[in-house]
Structure 1
Amino acid sequence: MNQSQPDDDRRARLRDLEESLARLRADLPPPPGEPADFVDSGQYLAQREELQGQIELLEAERERLRASLGDI
């Protein structure tokens, strides 16, 4: 069995995580330019918090993978 295969899989997952993080960061809504009503503001905050939560989870996984590969 190829000993580097698990590392290859982890490196591939790391690349996938980097791509996903870049997409999620690009999807973060910009702050509203004009004052909005409470509903719009609430929707904006909910969307932003959801994306931030996903980003934090992926960043944590990325750090674990980096540590396991000795990339830190």
Structure 2
Amino acid sequence: FFNLFSDFKGYCEYFLLQDLVYDNYSKVKFFLPFNDFVENPLPKDVNEYYEYKRNNIDFIHKRTKRIEEYNNQILLKCWDIV
């Protein structure tokens, strides 16, 4: 792991997962409240499921935007070479 990415931050940046961690990369953002695996991690009821679903969709939108921005940067670099 560390030979490939140096650290957790490098892993998150490589796979464009910055929206799943806090700014300092010290904690992961979960889609539901997290209590160190004391309770069942699955949604307890419909409301909690909707919260999970909203947070998941929000992450998907943010990551899609991040991927688009990354692709645009790559295209700009390619155009500069030509």
User: Which runs of 5 or more structure 1 residues have no equivalent in the other structure?
Assistant: 1-17
Q: How much identity, in percent, do the aligned residues show?
A: 12
Over aligned residues, Cα RMSD in angstroms? 2.5
Counterpart of 1:34?
A: 42
Q: Shift of residue 66 of structure 1?
A: 0.6
Q: Which runs of 5+ in 2 are unaligned?
A: 1-12, 22-28, 33-39
Higher relative contact order (CA 8 A, sep 6+): 1
Structure 1 CA distance for aligned equivalents of residues 72 and 30 of structure 2:
24
> Aligned partners of 1:51 and 1:23: how far apart in 2?
10
TM (norm. structure 1) is 0.55
Change (3 A) 1:34 1:22: closer
Tell me, yes or no, if structure 1 residue 24 matches structure 2 residue 22.
no
Q: Deviation of residue 25 (structure 1)?
A: 3.3
Distance in structure 2 (CA, Å) of the matches to 1:58 and 1:69 = 17
